[in-house]
Amino acid sequence: MLLCALAWTCPKLIAQSVSGTVNTYYSVSTVNTASNSVVVDNGAGLSPGELVLIIQSKGATVDATNTASFGNITALGSAGSYEFNTICNVSGNQVWLKAPFSNTYDPTGNLQLVGVPSYQSVVISAAVTATAWDPATGKGGIVAIKATDTIYLDADIDVSGQGFQGAYLVDYPTPAYNCSAATTVNQYFLGTPASGNITAGRKGEGIAAYILNEENAKGKLANGGGGGNNANSGGAGGGNYGAGGNGGKRAGESPFNCHGQNPGIGGLSLAAYGYTSGANRIFFGGGGGAGHENNAVGTPGGNGGGIIILSAPTIIGGGGRLLANGQVPSNPANSDPLQAEGDGAGGGGAGGTIILNTTTVTGAVTAQAIGAAGSNSSNGVNDCTGPGGGGGGGIVWTSGASVPAAISPSVGGGANGVVSSGSSSTAGCVGSSNGATSGAAGISQAGYVLPFSGASVCVVLASPLVSYFTGSVVDQGSLLSWGLTSSATMAGVTEFTLERSVDHLRFTVVADVPSSGDQLRYTYTDPSSPPGTTFYRLSWVDKDRVRSYSPVVALSRPMTAVDGAITLYPNPATDQLSIRLLSTTHEPVMMRVFNAQGQELAAYASPLHVGANLLSLPVRRLAPGAYFLSVEFGGRRQVRSFLVRN
């Protein structure tokens, strides 16, 4: 069986393949800087050593006067602040962090904690996406991945339309919302009335919270696009780095028909509020404003794009794209879902944010943070309704002095909508924008620096159940011992899980040790503990379903012979074979796989870093049997046998 046709492509064999949703999302309700901890909505899925992203999506304050200044940012607050950190301890829903906070956060501004998967090398083998941003819970919309060596981009990472939400439609039927040619609806904000002709479409979502009873009408909401005013004017596009475009007016109506001369105002550009090394803040694309609707055939605002953050020394393009585009407004109830058919049209969502923290990019990498087009409107028997404004472009931000040539960024603003063909009586405005404008372009730029503090204030929490957890190196392996202060049965603990790590970050299960009645002393010998430093910890779940952890124990087994530099486990293997290498230098390793007859099946290289290197070799496609792995690095060659079984 041939595992790899070309040697230079074979390092992917030892990389983990991922697809779907790889991140986890937690709403943060409390930030305690004194204890360096946060409280999340459900801490059950978090564990010590896990890499996390803390990011606040909102928190800006805006002008709330009924003037053209409505929606202008008066104070940014903590909107867009973010940083990476590592979990120190978890107890229930409280999470202690290893490094002190670099920023100040306000949980009322949609603060979330995102679990970030960390790999040595990883293949994006099928589409990866996020859980869409949910303003009700304040979480989602982000894909963040870290690798210590390489990210292979073989499939798309797509967060298009997963950022700030576009405005939903509100229908104002007649009656009880009869419009009037004598009434000019020119307000910058409005609530939702119970009746009357002073109505307007809703504003798109942005970095400032909606103001109660001011959610509608033409004024922008920071980078959220304004809604179209009565009657049937268009909504505006959302903004990010580029500003959103304005919505279009109603046109072609007689003096006795209702007028719609006050469309939505485009969402603000956030270029002045972040995206620099001095002001390292990042944002979702703003949502588009909705068109004014009174016939149930308008279009809402489009969602903005989400956020992608990839961090690895090397990113290799293999046909996959990075997509953080805005969303085109759509109403599935219309015969043409992308067109308003007698009502105001919605504004397009703004492009999102793509960050590539890397030193080397090879292959072709397409990165799109494009603003969406505004929705078209239609012309009817008496008039032409207002088209939607285009969404502003987002940002592609890379580390280094210049954007790598292998990256093809697209950050254009979305085109404005136009009046589509319909009744011949108003053919004069077909193809017209009626004043709607396109979104402004975003930017692709270099100079990104990942916000990650190297300091540590991590203190392992004392457990009320475990009185001690110790270990020692013995001839048979690593001997782990622990004692309890009270019966595990009384605490509702049915078993202890012993976990092991070679990098103090990624822990794997060694064994589940059942608790036994009133037994207070336990031991377990790990026979497969490799040479070098290995980290152990215990975890357990109590009667309240709270998972707790012991302090981490580090055991060092000296490498006294050359053959101690490489370890394979589990052996036999069924799905993945883990390869642990100890290296004293940064250098490549050459690996070759042979069958029992000595035929070479694959040859491939991979970079090594100083210390323990943990590689993963998929073996599920190998037939059951015996194989040999030849490893060459540091001027020497070692051979290990391994078995594959069903």
Q: What is the three-state SS of 80-120?
A: CCEEEEEEEEEECCEEEECCCCCCCCCHHHCEEEEECCEEE
My answer on whether 625 and 517 are in the same domain is no
Q: How far is CA 634 from CA 102, 150, 567, 569, in A?
A: 40, 21, 16, 22
d(CA 210, CA 189): 11
User: Which of 411, 376, 368, 378 is closest to 240 using CA atoms?
Assistant: 411
Q: What mean pLDDT comes out for the span 500-527?
A: 84
* 117, part of any domain: yes
- What is the tens place of the pLDDT at every residue in 252-268? 888 888 999 999 999 99
pLDDT at 180: 93
pLDDT at 461: 65
3-class DSSP state for residue 541?
A: strand
Q: What is the CATH number of the domain that holds 548?
A: 2.70.50.50
Q: How far is CA 478 from CA 139, 159, 178, 471, in A?
A: 42, 45, 80, 7
Least confident stretch, 336-345, 511-520, 603-612: 603-612
- What is the tens place of the pLDDT at every residue in 553-592? 888 776 544 444 688 888 888 877 888 777 766 677 787 8
My answer on whether 96 and 112 are in the same domain is yes
DSSP state of 391: P
d(CA 170, CA 515): 59
My answer on whether 549 and 490 are in the same domain is yes
My answer on whether 105 and 32 are in the same domain is yes
Q: What is the CATH number of the domain that holds 16?
A: 2.40.30
d(CA 530, CA 420): 70
My answer on whether 30 and 74 are in the same domain is yes
My answer on whether 123 and 22 are in the same domain is yes
pLDDT at 10: 55
| Residue 493 belongs to domain spanning | 466-557
Say if residue 320's pLDDT is above 50. yes
Q: Using pLDDT thresholds of 50, 70 and 90, give the confidence band for residue 220.
A: very high
Last residue of a domain, one of 86, 104, 130: 130
d(CA 26, CA 584): 39
* 608, part of any domain: yes
Helices then strands, counting H and E runs in the chain, come out as 0, 38
- What is the tens place of the pLDDT at every residue in 422-434? 654 577 788 999 9
Q: What mean pLDDT comes out for the span 108-135?
A: 94
Last residue of a domain, one of 130, 164, 179: 130
* 118, part of any domain: yes
Domain count, the chain: 3
Say if residue 614's pLDDT is above 80. no
My answer on whether 39 and 103 are in the same domain is yes
pLDDT at 205: 98
pLDDT at 175: 93
As to burial, measured by CB atoms within 10 angstroms (0-12 exposed, 13-18 middle, 19+ buried), residue 462 is: exposed
Q: Using pLDDT thresholds of 50, 70 and 90, give the confidence band for residue 5.
A: very low
pLDDT at 565: 66
* 50, part of any domain: yes
Q: Using pLDDT thresholds of 50, 70 and 90, give the confidence band for residue 418.
A: very high
3-class DSSP state for residue 418?
A: coil
My answer on whether 580 and 539 are in the same domain is no
* 618, part of any domain: yes
Pull the structure tokens for residue 304.
């903005």
Last residue of a domain, one of 540, 557, 574: 557
pLDDT at 626: 85
My answer on whether 120 and 32 are in the same domain is yes
My answer on whether 538 and 576 are in the same domain is no
My answer on whether 536 and 579 are in the same domain is no
My answer on whether 506 and 479 are in the same domain is yes
User: Which of 514, 508, 484 is closest to 496 using CA atoms?
Assistant: 514
* 419, part of any domain: no
Say if residue 406's pLDDT is above 60. yes
Residue 645 contacts residue 572 (beta carbons within 8 Å): yes
d(CA 273, CA 242): 12
pLDDT at 105: 97
242-269 as b/e: b if 16+ CB within 10 A: bbbbbbbbbbbbeeeebbbbbbbbbbbb
Least confident stretch, 42-46, 83-87, 206-210: 42-46
* 5, part of any domain: no
Q: What is the CATH number of the domain that holds 632?
A: 2.60.40.3080
* 411, part of any domain: no
Q: Using pLDDT thresholds of 50, 70 and 90, give the confidence band for residue 169.
A: very high
As to burial, measured by CB atoms within 10 angstroms (0-12 exposed, 13-18 middle, 19+ buried), residue 636 is: exposed
Q: Using pLDDT thresholds of 50, 70 and 90, give the confidence band for residue 3.
A: very low
d(CA 515, CA 492): 10
Least confident stretch, 196-200, 333-337, 577-581: 577-581
